[in-house]
Structure 1
Amino acid sequence: MGIGSGIVLFVIGAILAFAVDVDLGGMINLSLIGYILMTAGIIVFLLSLVLTLRRRSTVSTSRTAVDPVNGEAVTTRRTADNGDTLI
């Protein structure tokens, strides 16, 4: 679920809460369902926004050493982004 899903839930909830005026015999309260959907939409929107805008951390390590066998310089570079390691 993303930002769009949160907006859709909020809009459907607002329509049910404010625009629909149907009497279902007291069995189902559409206004209450609308408010619940609006609250769920806000929560989904905020969670998606926080996860999308979360700061990504990048760690880079570069090391150079001399190979004792043939005397060549060996460079090792590792880059990690959110726990992934590339060699």
Structure 2
Amino acid sequence: MTIAGGIILIMLGAILAWAVEFDIAGFDINIVGVILMLGGLVWLSFAIYRLRIARRAVEPTTVVEDPVTHRRVYEERHYNDPPVM
């Protein structure tokens, strides 16, 4: 599930809805295009939601200064990391 997948569905739906002049008995290609565009919007919004959740799962970087060597140590922890033994 990526952002590109949602955009591709929206583009394919727009092409079917507005650029295709093809008729099949009992089948409206324009409606299929609108359904694909709506599905692409749902897919795109879900992909952006997942991206925001993934970015939120990282704690801010912690800076610790060693008093002996005066070096700075940068720590970054992820919530899904296994415990350090």
Q: Do the two structures share a fold, i.e. TM-score over 0.5?
A: yes
Residue number among 64, 79, 84 corresponding to 2:81 in the alignment? 84
Deviation at 1:84, TM superposition (A): 2.6
Unaligned stretches of 5+ in structure 1? 60-78
Runs ≥4 in structure 1, deviation > 3 angstroms? Answer: none
Q: CA deviation at 1:57?
A: 4.1
Q: Which has the larger radius of gyration?
A: 1
> When you count strand as a share of all residues, which structure comes out higher?
1
SS at match of 2:82: strand
Q: What TM-score, normalized by structure 2, do the two folds share?
A: 0.68
How many equivalent pairs are there? 68
1:58: Cα distance to partner?
3.3
Identity %: 30
Aligned to 1:64: none
| Cα distance in 2 between the residues matched to 1:22 and 1:45 | 28
Amino acid at match of 1:82: Y
Structure 1 residue 80, shift from structure 2 partner: 5.4
What TM-score results when the alignment is normalised by the length of structure 1? 0.67
| Alignment correspondent of 1:58 | 59
Question: Counting helix residues as a fraction of each chain, which structure ranks higher?
Answer: 2
- Per-residue CA deviations over 1:45-65 (Å, capped at 9, x if unaligned) read 010011112211439xxxxxx
Q: What RMSD in Å do the two structures reach over aligned CA positions?
A: 2.1
